[in-house]
Amino acid sequence: MKERVVLALDLGGTNVRVVAVTESGEILARRHSQTGKGSASEIYDLIAELAERCGADAGIKEFDAFGAAIPTTDLDESGVLGSLPNISQLEGTNISREIGRRTGLPVRAVNDASAATLGEFWLGASKGTQNAVGITLGTGVGGGLIVDGRLYTGTRGGAGEIGHIRLVPGGIKCGCGGSGCLEQYCSATAILRRGKQAGLAAESAREVFDLAQAQNEAAGAIFSEMGSYLGLGLSIVNNLLSPDIIVIGGGVAAGWAQFFEPTRESLYENSLPDRRSRVKIMRALLGDDAGVLGAAKYTFQHLN
């Protein structure tokens, strides 16, 4: 039997990526572009165009399905997208219908951080485990949950919102409307904000990290604090889910050398004794491919 191949999308506020992936996880073609500020139908047209080019690059005329990793925590079974803060022009549109119409393929959509978690479980850091948690530290903070060997997406695809664990009662206001969310302490945005508050000459979280690596004490303290909050949040996940492994990905994971030790300590300290040493923490391995690979895997799992 010929190996099945799907198209997979990772749609972000900044970039849109489409790849062609085989059932064994080989990426045959990849295309990407800036997402831009166009209308919903311009964005769907762009996705269809990238998909077509992937088909041409891979020399494949007919794919088995289309998988989509989407930055929303509110997904209808039929494909209607709920709240989508970074690409709000797509809110209320039906991604299955829009992409289906343009490509002729059945479409399966999944939250982007859930997809990245499944990608790492399929081919990356958590491969071979049974219960895994993924956390994506970027502009915001996302997460995903593998339970008993399967991606758990929750009601309306909303599971895994580690970024909105209320970590600090009465803490920093969050874009979600609440306050004290983990995202406000552990994201790139949070690191940069703390850098500016400390008067550092940094225009990005990356630059705060570089200062920390160059022994700037204030910058080091920012990562240390961020790491402690991250460990506290992960301890909540560890106590609640008792996973084998927690995989940390996203752009901020590049700051590993500065935040890992405080994260590990705080996770240990705040976890129940039976599981504080048991849970592994690893850095994600698949980089930007985690989302498309996870979307592809999710789609393969739902093909008959």
Q: Which two tokens stand for residue 22?
A: 């085989």
Q: Write each residue from 182 to 221 as x if it is in contact with a second copy (CB under 8 A), else as -, in one continuous string.
A: ----------------------------------------
Q: Rounded to 5 degrees, what are φ and ψ at 195? A: -65, -45
Contacts of residue 185, defined as CB under 8 A and 6 or more positions apart, other chains included, come to 167, 168, 171, 172, 225, 226, 229, 230
Nearer to a second copy, 103 or 228 (CB): 228
- Residues 45 and 68: their CA atoms lie apart, in Å, by 15
Nearer to a second copy, 34 or 301 (CB): 301
71 touches 86 (CB < 8 A): yes
Q: Any idea what DSSP says for residue 144?
A: E
Nearer to a second copy, 253 or 279 (CB): 279
Nearer to a second copy, 275 or 283 (CB): 275
Residue from the set 20, 159, 230, 290 that interacts with a second copy by CB under 8 A: 159
User: 233-292: which residues touch a second copy (CB under 8 A)?
Assistant: 235-237, 239-244, 269-270, 272-275, 278-279
Q: Which two tokens stand for residue 154?
A: 């929750």
Any bridge partners for residue 108, and if so which? 67
Residue from the set 101, 127, 150, 196 that interacts with a second copy by CB under 8 A: 150
Nearer to a second copy, 228 or 299 (CB): 228
- Residues 41 and 67: their CA atoms lie apart, in Å, by 18
Nearer to a second copy, 58 or 279 (CB): 279
Contacts of residue 220, defined as CB under 8 A and 6 or more positions apart, other chains included, come to 212, 258
Residue 224 makes contact with a second copy by CB under 8 A: no
Minimum distance between the CB of residue 102 and a second copy, rounded to whole angstroms?
27
Nearer to a second copy, 8 or 146 (CB): 146
Residue range at the interface with a second copy (CB under 8 A); choices 37-45, 58-66, 140-148, 201-209: 140-148
User: 7-66: which residues touch a second copy (CB under 8 A)?
Assistant: none
User: 160-179: which residues touch a second copy (CB under 8 A)?
Assistant: 160-162, 164-169, 176-178
Q: Which pairing describes strands 132-137 and 107-111: parallel, antiparallel, or unpaired?
A: unpaired
Nearer to a second copy, 58 or 87 (CB): 87
Minimum distance between the CB of residue 134 and a second copy, rounded to whole angstroms?
13
- Residues 138 and 47: their CA atoms lie apart, in Å, by 23
Q: Rounded to 5 degrees, what are φ and ψ at 152? A: -100, 115
**Count residues contacting a second copy (CB under 8 A)?**
49
| Alpha helices, H only, the chain | 40-58, 95-103, 112-123, 183-186, 188-197, 205-213, 217-241, 256-270, 273-276, 289-302
Q: Which two tokens stand for residue 100?
A: 């289906």
User: 81-100: which residues touch a second copy (CB under 8 A)?
Assistant: 82-83
Binding site residues, a second copy, CB under 8 A: 73-74, 82-83, 130-131, 143, 145, 147-148, 150, 152-162, 164-169, 176-178, 232, 235-237, 239-244, 269-270, 272-275, 278-279
